[in-house]
Amino acid sequence: MTRQEARQTAVAKAHAYFVSGGFEEEFAEAIACPTCSPESDPARKQFQRYFDDIVGPQLAAMGFERSVYQNPLAGEVAAAGPFLVAQRIEDPALRTVLIYGHADTVAGMDADWDEGLTPFTLTRVGERLYGRGGADNKVQHWIAIKALRFVKETKGRLGFNVKLLLETGEETGSPGLRDFCERNRDLLAADVLIASDGPRLQPDRPTVFMGARGAANFELAADFRDGAHHSGNWGGLLKDPGTRLIHAIATLTGPRGQIEVPEWRPRNSLTDRVRELLAACEPLDDPAGRLPGEPEIDPDWGEPNLSPAERVFGWNSFAVLALELGDPQTPANAIAGKARAVCQLRFVVGTDQNDIVPAVRRHLDALGFSDIQVKMDADDVAMAATRVDPDSPWVGWARESLAATTGKSPAILPNLGGSLPNDCFSDVLGLPTIWVPHSYRGCSQHAPNEHLLAPLVDEGLQMMTGLFADLEAGPDFSAAV
């Protein structure tokens, strides 16, 4: 069998696995394992179950060796869950790929799902496959594991070495992952990271990205006094924490969300090459391709004079995630004593991560808001911004492989709009990083009714099978891509 014949056979097996119902039958077990949080003993047992009973047999059938490692921050950070490392070394002289995924999910939110749906039962409705953790991130690493199986079954070997790293704390900022990578450089040594997370640019367009925006959460608080006081007796005499906090927040951006803190405006992020890549990603919001549940982009929001793609992939954005002041259902006629807001900055390379919160303090002080507290939770892990060279031979190789499988031109993004612990692989381990997502923006991850799109799963299985079938030959580093 020629290499091309083997590739075609393996890709056909991946497609047959999906259309026969094999995927849904096996993946239902992954959804039924509620790996929601690493913060309690019962939850940790679910992670062990996921490693031993769900993922473990899949890996064992391909000859992987598996070990579970304690998190370096275990005992210090509640969300510091364990790591699974599995490896299949066919020949140390061959290329080695590191595959990453996370087994943890956000909470089930059981009571808020639509009638007939429940978070821990895989349920198909039309082309949607509902279940907590399906899109984020179980199906993403499941597809990679199954794709490896189809290549090995077809060829009798992979033709490269594989190391798989599954963590259990990504939804809480990946505590301990960077430390684990630093302490285990030899264990995790590879030539490239190939992983999957996040959404495609458009549901029908294969996507490759090489990094991610960072994320930093912080709290603003107006803590003026204990208790509340009658607004008739004290209105006009007591400083209102809600009013002060709202005015302070309003100084961080303009009325359309444009960044007003000078240090938050990235430097040298929108290079000519990045703009060229993002121009090929427009229109970002195509009404003809918008699926139910996907909101329409607001054209008058965000940094002026930037395209939608540039705003989300090449610039920073600020959001107020939560506000706390009284109870809107039963408002009291009183001046509150306290108010607080949880805020977030998503940021690209060219932003000083260590100066994000200090810059807020300087900004508010300069505008007369020294009474507003700015703090970052010690347990809140900020994810760094990363961006690997979009002209790396690995990117060109991945683009050509995906195009050969799908007949489509993949979108090439400099980085994801969301955040991932990619710095652990690009900075700590020094790897080129190739991310191939299998979800879409309307998948309701982190919300009730999280779901997969069946056509994306089918195509994702075929794409990753083709990609791994092509890895034995790998990219030609002597050729310009």
pLDDT-based confidence at residue 40 (cuts at 50, 70, 90): low
Spatial separation of the C-alpha atoms in residues 26 and 18, rounded to whole Å: 10
For the entire predicted model, the pTM comes to 0.92
Q: Exposure pattern of 4-27 as b/e (b: 16+ CB <10 Å)?
A: eebbbbbbebbeebbeeeebbebb
The answer for residues whose C-beta is within 8 angstroms of residue 164's C-beta and 6 or more apart is 59, 64, 84, 85, 86, 87, 98, 99, 100, 101, 141, 144, 145
For the chain, the average pLDDT equals 94
* Strand 161-167 versus strand 83-88 pairing type: antiparallel
The answer for residues whose C-beta is within 8 angstroms of residue 21's C-beta and 6 or more apart is none
Q: What pLDDT sits at residue 39? A: 63
Domains located in the chain, CATH noted: 3-212+385-471 (3.40.630.10), 214-266+316-375 (3.30.70.360)
* Strand 451-453 versus strand 128-130 pairing type: antiparallel
DSSP H or E run through 411:
strand 411-413
Largest CA distance in the chain: 88
User: pLDDT per residue over 10-36, tens digit each?
Assistant: 999 999 999 999 999 999 999 999 999
User: pLDDT per residue over 225-248, tens digit each?
Assistant: 999 999 999 999 999 999 999 999
Beta bridge partners of 223: 338
Q: What pLDDT sits at residue 388? A: 87
Q: What pLDDT sits at residue 379? A: 54
CB 141 within 8 A of CB 166: yes
CB 189 within 8 A of CB 114: no
Q: Is the pLDDT of residue 295 over 90?
A: no
The single residue listed with the structure tokens 């014949």 is 5
Phi, psi of 375 (to 5 degrees): -150, 155
pLDDT-based confidence at residue 481 (cuts at 50, 70, 90): very low
Spatial separation of the C-alpha atoms in residues 69 and 253, rounded to whole Å: 43
Neighbours of 451 (CB within 10 A): 25
Give the mean pLDDT of 82-104.
97
* Strand 128-130 versus strand 123-125 pairing type: antiparallel
- Here the tokens at position 51 are 């490693």
pLDDT-based confidence at residue 378 (cuts at 50, 70, 90): low
Q: Is the pLDDT of residue 97 over 90?
A: yes
Q: What pLDDT sits at residue 359? A: 97
